[in-house]
Amino acid sequence: MDTVFIRELAVDTVIGVYGWERTVRQTLLLDLEMAWDNRPAAAGDELARALDYAAVAERITRFAAGSEFQLIETLAEQVAALVRAEFAVPWLRLRVCKPGAVAAARDVGVLIERGERG
C-alpha cells in the first residue's frame, strides 16, 4: 500500500469545552495519511483512479465548518469515519492539532489510526 497525505489542513470550527469556546470559531490543523494503491492511477495517469486529496480536503473542511464538537477526539473520530466511508480508504492516520490551546506548549492534539493497512 502507498500513502496519500494532506499536511496542516486548516479548518475553522466551533470546538472546545469552555463557555467562551462555544461562542467563537477556532482553527484546527489536520495531518492525514491515507493508505491507497497509487499504481492504477499512475499507470493510466488518471485522477479517477487516484485518491483525490483535493476532494478529501474539501469534504473535511465542509464537515468541520458545520460541526460544533466539544472535544477534538470527537472531531477526529468523525472525520476518520467520514473519510473511510466516503472515499473507501482502508486505513488512515489522523492528527488533529489545536494550536494555542496550551500557552506553554507549541502544540497539543490527538493522533488516531483507524482501519487496516492491508
Ligand X SMILES: Nc1nc2c(c(=O)[nH]1)N=C([C@H](O)[C@@H](O)CO)CN2
For residue 73, state whether it binds ligand X (rule: CB under 6 A). yes
Residue nearer to ligand X on the CB measure, 16 or 51: 16
Q: Which of 8, 18, 43, 45 binds ligand X (CB under 6 A)?
A: 18
Furthest CA-CA distance within the chain: 52
Closest by alpha carbon to 109, among 88, 65, 67, 79?
79
Helices (H), the chain: 39-44, 53-65, 72-87
Which of 8, 17, 19, 54 forms a contact with ligand X (CB under 6 A)? 17
Q: C-alpha grid cell for residue 90?
A: 482502508
Known catalytic residue at 33: no
Residues catalogued as catalytic: 98
Binding residues vs ligand X (CB under 6 A):
16-18, 21, 71-73, 98, 101
